[in-house]
Structure 1
Amino acid sequence: MIKVKPAILIKRYKRFLADVQIGQHSSTIYVPNTGAMTNCGSEGDKIWYSTSDNPKRKYQHTWELTERDGLICVNTARANEFVGNALRAGQIESLSGYQVQAEVKYGDSRIDFMLSRDNETCFVEVKSCTLLENAQGYFPDTVTQRGQKHLLELIKIVEAGHRAVLLFAILHSGITSVKAAQHIDPKYAELLEKAQKAGVEVLCYKPDLRQCFEFVGTPSK
């Protein structure tokens, strides 16, 4: 369980930093998200932060969650953490029964997970989905050349005779389905369709965020 405490968002800036109000004091915290974070935090939103016990860190607090149209996990590193735990516990039915290895090099990329059993190998690339618009979840929330590259790698994996999976980790409690954000990155949407036709599987996994964090303070509603 990840222990988190509440604060009020003042503003995000310099991509990796945000000012928040903690009680009667303002503080600068680390933002572990390189994306646009569209609809994931505006001035006055209630957020939840974790605290590191590493004395070498310049910013001890890390923005983990936002309460906005539900509960949103903005720490993109949690996607692989939650998916990895689920894979090892056999909680994703179509990906159960494998040995799990994280961060495996394939071609010019590093694939998030390699699953193996007998003579079968399955490569899984994880993407964090937090963009909710008009009751629909979308990925990506900004143009992603890196994401486009990963789709091409997954196609190559299928062509090499392996199983390849693009897994959307839904880290927004209000999202129930995911679509390619053609209105944001049409090239990604085009490549995703191409990947599916080539045999790349697309799956979703939605962890219960309230079970992943320990809320210290006013509980999330």
Structure 2
Amino acid sequence: MKFDKPLIPGRLIERYKRFLADVELEDGTVITAHCANPGSMLGLKDAGSRVWLSKSDNPKRKLAYSWELLELDDAMIGINTAHPNRIVEEAILAEQIAELADYEHLRREVKYGKNSRIDLLLQDEAKPDCYVEVKNVHLLRQPGLAEFPDSVTKRGAKHLAELSDMVREGHRAVMLYLVQRTDADRFALAGDIDPAYAEAFAQATEQGVEAIVYLCDISTSEITLSRPLPFA
């Protein structure tokens, strides 16, 4: 996934009200950017951190700037949770995800379950439908260990239950955790943050829901799929 235009550097002043962030640009201008991230962003919102923004030319947007990346030590971290579906879709179409290869059709945001939409639905006449739910990962509390979730997610547990329902109906269901940071080498569930999600995950995988993890390559020009990560 390439960014449409060169990103704009700045320094984070404050992230607040979940979806807003004040940033000082290099010329000293202070702007308010949209933060497309509903999570707690634990460890990723310290004042003074170097951030990268995109700017929209759409005059109808209330906030022209969007917070895209965070630079932390030697790592680049993707902040925008609107991007993972597109990153994964591009990787599937480029046959970069072996576990999800050889499907003829890919559909986005298809209704299923109890008033939900699956992120990606893969279909082929020769095999069962494959329901793919994508989760963004950027929590890291120990060196190299990426974790999900960074806050309680009842919605995430609901998705696991609905993926289990698809398996019982004879389909294939895959939970794909996309690690949007460059300093991770393994993955685990943050069961101390959300025990209910960890329990829902255990039940889902027992019933046949598959779980895979992929790392991203991140730069100020693009975010692409890198390689699979093991569960710790």
Displacement of 1:142 after TM fit?
0.2
1:158-191, CA deviations, whole angstroms, 9 ceiling, x for partnerless residues? 1111110000011011122221111100010011
Q: Deviations over 1:105-125 (max 9, x none)?
A: 111111101001124210000
Which structure 2 segments of 5+ residues have no match? 224-232
Partner of 1:31: 35
Within the alignment, does 1:128 sit opposite 2:133 as a pair? Answer: no
Letter in 2 for 1:68: L
Which residue of 1 is the match for residue 157 of structure 2? 148
- What's 1:50 paired with? 54
Percent identity over the alignment is 43
Structure 1 position 81 matched with structure 2 position 86: yes
Gaps spanning 5+ residues in structure 1: where? Answer: 215-221
- 1:211 is displaced (CA, Å) by 7.7
* Per-residue deviation, residues 117-153 of structure 1 (Å, max 9, x unmatched): 1242100000000000112111000000000100000
| Distance verdict in 2 for CA 1:212–1:155, change over 3 Å | farther
Q: Give, in angstroms, the shift of residue 212 of structure 1.
A: 5.3
The TM-score normalised by the length of structure 1 is: 0.93
**Amino acid across the alignment from 1:107:** G
TM-score by length of 2: 0.89
Quote the Cα distance in structure 2 between the aligned partners of 1:155 and 1:176: 28
Asked if 1:92 is matched to 2:101, the reply is no
Q: Does 1:113 align with 2:120?
A: yes
Indicate conservation of the 8 Å contact 1:166/1:203, yes or no. Answer: yes
Which segment is superposed worse, 65-74 or 46-55? 65-74
Q: Which residue of 1 aligns with 2:11?
A: 8
**Amino acid in the other structure paired with 1:111:** I
CA contact (8 A) 2:52 2:220 kept: no
Distance 1:177 1:105 in 2: 32
- Mapping 1:192-211, distance limit 5 Å: 192-210=201-219
Q: Partner amino acid for 1:95?
A: L
> Which piece of structure 1 moves more, 126-135 or 204-213?
204-213
- Cα distance, 1:210 vs. partner? 2.1
Give how far 1:41 is off. Answer: 2.2
8 Å contact from structure 2 (residues 181, 216) kept in 1: no
1:71: which partner in 2? 76
Q: Paired residue for 2:23?
A: 20
Runs of 4+ in 1 over 6 A off after TM superposition: none
Corresponding residue number in structure 2 for 1:217? none
* 2:230 aligned partner: none
**Structure 2 CA distance, aligned partners of 1:211 and 1:97?**
31
SS in 1 for 2:177: strand
> Secondary structure in 2 aligned to 1:208?
strand
Aligned-residue Cα RMSD (Å) equals 1.3
2:177 aligned residue: 168
Q: Comparing both structures, which one devotes a greater share of its residues to helix?
A: 1
Cα-to-partner distance string for 1:50-96 (whole Å, 9 max, x where unaligned): 01110111110100000114111010011111011111111101101
SS at match of 1:18: strand
Q: How many pairs does the alignment contain?
A: 214
Measured in 2, the distance between the counterparts of 1:212 and 1:82 equals 14
